[in-house]
Chains A and B, each alone.
Chain A
């Protein structure tokens, strides 16, 4: 059967169907050359159909050790070519087991140019004989997807508090507000902390403070930060009381809690090659990125400094307030996939701030 990607704005792309069921999601692209399994298991991709720009995916098979969470979150996977030989078709199988549609042989570059100029719309991957049939099948899927609760963070966050030991006995005890955390944020923190206490996204400030953490981590997560109201209120209460480090969604929520505003970017940043100027560590380096929203610089209070800037487009990539002891980083110092260049920010948080 032919595979189709139907965008709500009307464009249709054809390809070859490999796995899964018809599904809808926000259509985004990622320019990383490798790391498909990390991307698929990153909760920040909740609700999204991801198009990888690199020509082939699945090349080096699968490995559960690189998972960034307990499951796959994407709604669909698009690439030009996928590993499909007798020796190894594990990536196709992996996606199929979870019912995730995988479509190859699609003009991914054409799609990327469309997303770049027109933004990231809703779309659906469907199987159909004809384009007309594909449109018919896609419309209800997209409509249904739009009705789900907009607080995506609550949808992916853990339900229970979890305590994990750290690897440094003399390190700080950290509270982690889970907005859809990637495993590697936790692994990095474990290297520097004596204990991690992980809270669901809607945990109250009182509960969190009750355990008397030395610092609080706000993790990455999916969706529009403006829809994550409960957590934003919680963070507002926490600011000033404990050192806070936010990554990605955590950074955006911190921005909102500080009184700033966020906005939807045209097509976001997703890839492993984004240059960041880091005034805090005094370096320029390559980073792993995955976000569709950003903090508006003009809306931030005066004591909050924009310490990190994305050099491609000068957007806010990090904020820091010495007074309120909080740091927000828009990109992914935990990498996975991507370069490790910003890893020292975890050290900065655990050694300088807490």
Chain B
């Protein structure tokens, strides 16, 4: 059936800011769908509050709304655009829940708009666990014994019946949010309260444990005629008990017989039919008992998902694109297979390789957070490795994590690191076999299927072969090692040599990886799409139809500090190079991204971002050069080695990069230019630090050199704290990698400046003024463009300084600067010779195609060609505020106070006619409630009390009431503001935290400094995190929050699409 003729305009709902459990895979899906629907001649309206996405680039859709994903804003967009239909299946749980709300409030019906891809009934059937179980009963599928619990009391009864351990799964939450495994009544009771609270419907499924069962997932598609295909089967290495997003997973499944697999496939098909999915993609998760083979259904999702993105990358089957085309009426057999270009899309991909996904975690970012994995997802990113065998693919994925060039470094083995799932378990699995444990022993500790353990054991056994036989048979042993996925670095470590020697040997024996095609069909059909992976098994590589491409190095797995923003730069950059007539090769290891979509670049290499793998790609493609400034810090760190090996770096030279990154050189340049920089010193040891203590002065910021996202960066206020800092982080500080000590400019206003420089031109993309004062990491600080507090004159001075600095450094392409202003003096804090986290926000806020300009610079275009005067970031008439989102909820032991270490996972954008409007939208988009009445709990440090007084009076005038602990309460009373005094925690119960936890408080302003008082007020912030109560920890943020509150009360809601962006 050709596509439906009654559809002219569709609205696609995105997934909003990146959070744990909902990351850039939805940018990948949404972008793909938008492109497909645009190509069909439909008008595509997109709404997403996340500016760092490719999908919100103006040319991806007909009109793009960067607006909060909330019903009231969606309604405005519906009113304005009057789309024929809404597609809710591409924006994760956020979009599904929003669609359901739009339906239940009658808004869709009122605007004559229907849902495509999933009806409200389908969404409910899959998400409402009770309804879903009824469906499973009808088709005779089994599920774990469980009860739906709506109250605490009922929960207690259910626990008695089912026995421990118990799994809690709240309804309608994302990434297992609010859920977990309870091993004892005590833990259970605590978790139950939380879980009931997290579920928007106050419903929690309490389930008998299936811990240790094998876990599988099928990614399926169905078209309007009922044709059903399994795109990919996925098997988890980690058995049940670890959220599938936190599990190491493998595709296709490896340990089921054909009979078992086909029975699972049949059941998935029945579930899809019965749930009523008309068209689109879905996934079904199963658990299989390791001994009896009994199979139960865990859950199903009627939408594209993280695993469907993985399945698309693993197989070459573009699930989201096809889901979009099916939604508008096409049938699978009418859609061509994009990869082969000859066969249709109704087929099940056949794989002649194995794919392994490994999550990447960020526990180290959250002091106190326990590194333990449960049913609540905690990973912030993932990598995928493709190899001809499981071993090769697993080892490539481990190398892709960018945690150790060796991939499987030796660790100090600890039994509890095996028996309690954690982020480092895979390394301990390897170590267990090195230390002589048997497969059976490890199986009994982990319940991991022996088949997987044998594969790991075999790799470890080979390490011994490598050590023993390498001297006698270097060529054979080296080949066997490479076929098992060993990196040169690991081979060198095992054989006691140098990585460089291993590469020399490989060159001597002509032992290079061969590039193979991901072709969807295991070689059965000729295939036209260059989507490549490397392997040491094949005898020859596929031919590339062109040579000398530009190689763009991606940003690898998402992590805190390096995420989707860099994928935005890469994708935008690839497009700009292609427009300039260049052939572009993209290299990345992150399956969630748009950059790893096979049609983004001319050729895609799905490979680890290591010097070894990139060197091979550059050699194989005979690249014209490589681009290191778009993918964040990862490519910048690899660039020196690649240049050393004779490859050409495009844009800023290594020398320019070094001038910007080397603190000593950089300070020298700033002094030479007469720019102020904070006092600073470097210390390779505590002794050196104490010598510089006086010169730098307190407060100061300490951090180890070459860090990303401010890890281990702290504000040090006193001598004692400096001692403590070195005690805690001494391991990361050496003479080669010294600790950087910088004067801390308390109270200074910070900004980000992003610019692009060509040989004889420069374009400043914009200045983002941070809302929080100095001390909060720039990635965690809210920001506004244009600046609201800086004088125009100061802005102009900043621009001039930035341009002079770019010239002096010799930047070609991107430069990101962080500046601060205090007492009218501008300080230069930091220079990043690359595209930055703030670039996509600036591009959207100022409408300047900064990444395209960066490419023009790298291509050597002149001022006359670029015409830089066309771009003026001051020109727009909207105010844009960057909001941030944090994952504190997922880390129950973590503090939500902001500091110099970055903790946020994502950002949002609020665009408005004025500052308060933009602020309101940014807060709403960051999932912050803006309560319009109620009690405000205050816990303020002394220096903030007086300055905040006018604001508090205003709040009082708006009808809010106050509560506070004794000190603050007394202060307010004295100033004539009524305030309910509350006990501090150590003063006995009921105390202030009890009041917050009992739901009496609407929001909290809690400003504090110093390690001790921060610790003392931890429970206040934690209570807010647990109960989603807004908690502002900076006085500047409090001002902004109150501005936003006022705007909400104004009650005006306006939505506006992004203006078109001028092409470079």
Contact = CB atoms under 8 A, between A and B. Distances in A.
Interface string B417-460: 00000000000000000000001000000000011001000100
A239 interface: no
Contact of A60 (B255, B346, B347, B353): B255
A335 B255 CA distance: 19
Contact of A112 (B254, B266, B354, B524): B524
Interface string A308-326: 0001110000000000000
Nearest to B457: A85
Contact of A312 (B258, B261, B525): B525
A109 B450 contact: no
Interface string A106-118: 0111101100100
Contact of A87 (B254, B266, B390, B454): B454
Given A59-B451, A284-B225, A271 B524 contact: yes
B451 A286 contact: no
A109 B229 contact: no
Interface stretch (A50-58, A94-102, A344-352): A50-58
Contacts of A60: 255-257, 260, 451
Contacts of A87: 439, 450, 454
Interface string B336-379: 00000001101111111110000000000000000000000000
A285 B227 contact: yes
B259 A66 contact: yes
Contact of A109 (B226, B333, B538): B538
A80 B537 contact: yes
A55 B354 contact: yes
Nearest to A337: B258
B112 interface: no
A42 to B, nearest CB: 12
A338 B262 contact: yes
Interface stretch (A31-39, A147-155, A160-168, A214-222): A31-39
A21 interface: no
Interface string A76-105: 000011010101000000000000000000
A339 B265 contact: yes
Contacts of A35: 257-258
A338 B257 CA distance: 11
Interface string A236-280: 000000000000000000000000000000000001111101000
A31 B350 contact: yes
- Of the listed residues A34, A81, A113, A271, the one surrounded by the most CB atoms of chain B closer than 10 A to its CB is A34
A280 B349 CA distance: 26
A284 B537 contact: no
Interface in B487-543: 516, 521-526, 537-540
B886 interface: no
B451 A277 contact: no
A272 B348 contact: yes
B1017 interface: no
Contacts of A29: 523-524
A340 interface: yes
A69 to B, nearest CB: 16
B347 A275 contact: yes
B522 A80 contact: no
B346 A109 contact: no
A255 B262 CA distance: 31
A126 to B, nearest CB: 19
Given A85-B454, A284-B227, A53 B350 contact: yes
Contacts of B344: 275, 311-312
B513 to A, nearest CB: 14
A50 to B, nearest CB: 14
B523 A33 contact: no
A130 B454 CA distance: 32
A283 interface: yes
Contacts of B348: 272-273, 286, 339
Contacts of B351: 33, 54
Contact of B523 (A109, A274, A312): A109
B252 interface: yes
Contact of B522 (A54, A83, A107): A54
B228 interface: yes
- Of the listed residues A29, A55, A112, A272, the one surrounded by the most CB atoms of chain B closer than 10 A to its CB is A55
Nearest to A85: B454
Nearest to A34: B258
Contacts, number: 147
Contact of A110 (B255, B451, B539): B539
Contacts of B524: 29, 31, 53, 112, 116, 271
B539 A107 contact: yes
A112 B332 contact: no
A302 interface: no
B229 A110 contact: no
Contacts of B346: 275, 284, 286, 311
A339 B258 CA distance: 9
Nearest to A285: B227
B258 A284 contact: no
B231 to A, nearest CB: 11
A110 B538 contact: yes
Contacts of B331: 284
Contacts of A312: 343-344, 347, 525
A109 B389 contact: no
B266 A340 contact: yes
Contacts of A303: none
Interface string B312-333: 0000000000000000000111
Contact of A63 (B255, B257, B525): B257
Interface in B701-727: none
B389 A56 contact: yes
A27 interface: no
B303 interface: no
Interface in A1-57: 29, 31-35, 38, 53-56
A336 interface: yes
B842 to A, nearest CB: 45
B388 interface: yes
Contacts of B343: 311-313
B257 A286 contact: no
Nearest to A63: B257
B159 to A, nearest CB: 37
23 contacts: A29-B524, A31-B352, A31-B524, A34-B258, A53-B350, A54-B522, A55-B388, A59-B255, A60-B256, A60-B260, A80-B388, A108-B352, A109-B522, A116-B526, A275-B344, A284-B227, A284-B332, A284-B333, A284-B346, A286-B346, A311-B343, A336-B258, A340-B262
- What are the nearest 9 A-B pairs in CB distance? A35-B258, A53-B522, A31-B350, A112-B523, A337-B258, A273-B348, A34-B258, A53-B352, A284-B227
Given A31-B524, A107-B538, 9 more contacts: A31-B522, A35-B258, A54-B522, A55-B389, A56-B254, A56-B354, A87-B439, A108-B352, A284-B331
